[in-house]
């Protein structure tokens, strides 16, 4: 529990996504990221407190990188979310093009229904709307455990033309209130019918907010260069099932015409370790 002086608060995690962003590129789609800044006064000064990963060629990005911040109940903290299209591989934002921004406060996010705030992005401090940003907030459950999850596909079906190799990628979501999925991990893009993805090494808090019975949804998608990835199939499990070894294989299912069909499987290897 964070307690600067007499101010009582807690730590919260923010998850971010956007939709209907304006496109600033000519031959392709923009490559957005979100820079987050905070201030103790409405007009600043502003200080960067974090940023998401950059997502290539996508005007409806869902970011896997979250942000953990302090939420003091009796202190107003203002937040600015800047959506930027950057071309620099170094991450330098000096030459970035702005796709829109939102100024709000941690209290407004906390007071939104389900602690989910969806608002219009404004371009260049004017009145022109530039898509929407969705910010979800969840109070952190304290814990020190870490975990490692390794997954690989087995006979993933072809989803493109016969001459084109499938490029499978893996996304892992934890379910929020109302069974709404929150993206927590996006793998590298692999290839072929038996893909191997990079492992997910993180805290148990990041995986499931320290609730090992909280459902996880694993999605396997075919990566498209235009950003419109194709769902191959998905499966649901819990961290508890993964860690105790009762689940080592997950069958992928895909709903088509109201029916769920199994589309192959992927293998799981996982472990959890206490850092007490």
- pLDDT tens for 172-227 read 999 987 778 999 999 999 988 888 899 999 999 999 999 999 999 999 999 887 77
On average, the pLDDT of the chain sits at: 85
Average pLDDT over residues 68-94: 85
233-242, 244-253, 263-272: which range is least confident on average? Answer: 263-272
- How are the residues of the chain apportioned to helix, strand and coil, as percentages rounded to the nearest 5? 10, 50, 45
Other residues' Cβ atoms within 10 Å of the Cβ of residue 246:
10
What pLDDT score was predicted for residue 258? 59
What pLDDT score was predicted for residue 272? 65
Cβ atoms of 206 and 183 within 8 Å: the answer is no
1-5, 191-195, 267-271: which range is least confident on average? Answer: 1-5
Q: What is the pLDDT of residues 24-48, one digit of tens each?
A: 877 778 889 999 999 998 887 999 9
Cβ atoms of 130 and 122 within 8 Å: the answer is yes
Residues with Cβ within 8 Å of 181's Cβ and at least 6 positions away in sequence, in order, are 173, 174, 175, 217
Share of the chain above pLDDT 90, in %: 43
Buried/exposed 186-210: b ≥16 CB within 10 Å, e otherwise: bbebbeeeebbbeebeeebbbbbbb
Confidence of residue 139 (pLDDT cuts 50, 70, 90): very high
Cβ atoms of 122 and 152 within 8 Å: the answer is no
Residue 61 has pLDDT above 90, yes or no: yes
**Token code pair at residue 30:** 């923009």
What pLDDT score was predicted for residue 135? 97
How many residues belong to the chain? 276
Share of the chain above pLDDT 70, in %: 86
CA angle 110, 60, 104 (to 5 degrees): 30
What is 64-93 written as a DSSP string?
S--EEEEEETTS--EEEEEEEE---TT---
How would you class 152 by CB atoms within 10 Å of its CB: exposed for 0-12, middle for 13-18, buried for 19 or more?
middle
CA angle 47, 100, 102 (to 5 degrees): 55
Residue 71 CA: distances (Å) to CA of 11, 107, 161:
6, 8, 50
**Token code pair at residue 100:** 């829109």
Q: pTM, whole model, 2 decimals?
A: 0.86
CA angle 62, 241, 230 (to 5 degrees): 30
54-58, 70-74, 249-253: which range is least confident on average? Answer: 249-253
Residue 2 has pLDDT above 50, yes or no: no
């Amino acid at each position: 529990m964070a307690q600067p002086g007499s101010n009582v608060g807690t730590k919260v995690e923010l998850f971010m996504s956007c939709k209907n962003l304006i496109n600033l590129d000519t031959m392709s789609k923009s490559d957005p990221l979100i820079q987050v800044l905070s201030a103790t006064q409405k007009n600043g000064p502003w200080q960067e407190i974090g940023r998401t990963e950059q997502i290539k060629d996508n005007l409806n990005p869902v970011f896997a990188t979250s942000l953990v911040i302090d939420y003091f109940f009796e202190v107003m903290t203002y937040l600015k979310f800047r959506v930027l299209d950057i071309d620099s591989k170094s991450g330098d934002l000096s030459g970035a093009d702005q796709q829109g921004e939102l100024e709000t406060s941690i209290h407004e996010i906390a007071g939104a229904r389900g602690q989910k705030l969806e608002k219009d992005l404004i371009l260049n401090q004017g009145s022109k709307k530039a898509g929407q940003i969705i910010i979800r907030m969840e109070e952190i459950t304290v814990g020190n455990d870490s975990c490692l999850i390794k997954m690989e596909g087995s006979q993933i079906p072809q989803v493109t033309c016969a001459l084109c190799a499938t490029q499978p990628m893996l996304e892992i979501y934890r379910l929020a209130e109302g069974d709404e999925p929150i993206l927590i991990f996006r793998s590298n893009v692999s290839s072929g019918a038996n893909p191997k993805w990079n492992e997910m090494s993180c805290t148990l808090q990041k995986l499931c907010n320290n609730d090992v019975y909280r459902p996880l949804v694993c999605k396997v998608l075919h990566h498209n260069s235009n950003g419109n990835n194709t769902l191959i199939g998905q499966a649901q499990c819990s961290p508890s099932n993964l860690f105790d070894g009762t689940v080592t294989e997950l069958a992928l299912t895909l709903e088509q015409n109201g029916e769920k069909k199994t589309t192959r499987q992927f293998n799981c290897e996982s472990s959890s370790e206490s850092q007490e």
